[in-house]
Structure 1
């Protein structure tokens, strides 16, 4: 039986990129995001190219009640959801103490509180099925506190990583798997106006490597593994002034 993957934030960036990669592998897809017209276009593209089933639904993950409604609707329509990828998020953020609390609050709420809602909805489905694979998209910036515009963003992604680990700890002896993915810099719409970033890869390459990592169902994965695995290990012990250079 064809397996089904649910991806949030699937209208652009690595969400859409991962949808394309999984479609090539023959998975059915439940895709959701705020921009339905983009989802519908992606749905038509993937169904026509790969002959899979794609269901698209509008979802703003900051509407927490709607997260549960949409996830349950996907479950009802597909029967089983085999993997849920908590991907939706924003890359915004400002320096702390510069009068931009509302922007930083929105970043943290979207990246962390919304991820909590998605996890609650996902694990509820997986508990009922007694199976499933929860995938949390964190960030290399979650490894240490980061300066400037990354401070709130990095903190929210650290929260995502710890949330995933806590869920994994509870489900260790169950058939439900939990993976935390730490992407490095991937060039997408989210950061297209930014300067060239350290060790960045393009959207297509990043999405392909993310899917490869997710398919292995490892507890943690750094993407791309080189150079981010050794960099991640170093980040944990280096002085902050050196870590700052990665921002």
Structure 2
């Protein structure tokens, strides 16, 4: 059983939702995010759910890459070991390419991909030292195709993260270290709160339960919720661009 679980971007959205689900399961939690005051509020909530677990909170901006290694190391030292690390921190700023929003697109690219590399590096270094561990990367259904407007760079970063995860999985195949990639469909959270319509949108709790369930199975690639996204991801790969235009 993966008892000690580290989650980045845990102060809101999917990170917070996953922490709640893991608390119900009796897992110890190492939670980090920029908004430490929100983490402390979440810690209180989690200990009400299950007073027998350990919850450690630390401030972390994943774009401070040196801090990623430092904070992950501190969590490992304080808990004794890290059994699972969930690379969840991300953002969805951006606009169509060439419309004057390079700064926002760059910020999303760095946060979602470059900083994900830093988190994976820090986690797998610890796992290699321990000779065990489970890395979970939170990608997106958008990783399977390109999308337009605000989704263009976001989708590209998630495609990159999925590819990165597969590379690590190949590299670590003969070790006790596992790598899983979760591809959520449309789950309501702070990152997409301005999106008015999206197909098959589910609430945060439903989505997070599906993510945690998939993480527990430790499969290579999982699309959640399974219905309809395990089928939709196959259709998206062959869908005409006209269909994609209606989804973003």
TM-score, normalised relative to structure 1 = 0.98
RMSD: 1.1
2:133–2:178: 8 Å Cα contact kept in structure 1? yes
**CA offsets 1:104-126 (integer angstroms, 9 cap, x no match):** 00000000000000000000000
- Point out 4+ residue stretches in structure 1 off by more than 4 angstroms: none
Matched, 1:13 2:17: no
**CA offsets 1:46-70 (integer angstroms, 9 cap, x no match):** 1232021000000000000000000
2:2–2:83: 8 Å Cα contact kept in structure 1? no
- Between 1-10 and 27-36, report the one with greater CA deviation: 1-10
**Correspondence for 2:124:** 123
**Correspondence for 2:195:** 194
Using the alignment, how far apart are the partners of 1:49 and 1:221 within structure 2? 28
3-state SS of paired residue (2:115): helix
**Correspondence for 1:109:** 110
3-state SS of paired residue (2:110): helix
**Correspondence for 2:207:** 206
**Correspondence for 1:32:** 32
Using the alignment, how far apart are the partners of 1:218 and 1:246 within structure 2? 27
**Correspondence for 1:222:** 223
- How many residues align? The count is 247
For residues 200 and 2 of structure 1, do their structure 2 counterparts lie closer, same or farther at Cα, with a shift above 3 Å needed?
A: closer
In the TM superposition, residue 242 of structure 1 has moved relative to its aligned partner by 1.9
- Between 150-159 and 236-245, report the one with greater CA deviation: 236-245
In the TM superposition, residue 147 of structure 1 has moved relative to its aligned partner by 1.0
Task: Give the gaps of 5 or more residues in structure 1.
Answer: none
**Correspondence for 2:185:** 184
3-state SS of paired residue (2:104): helix
- Between 39-48 and 52-61, report the one with greater CA deviation: 39-48
Using the alignment, how far apart are the partners of 2:86 and 2:22 within structure 1? 12
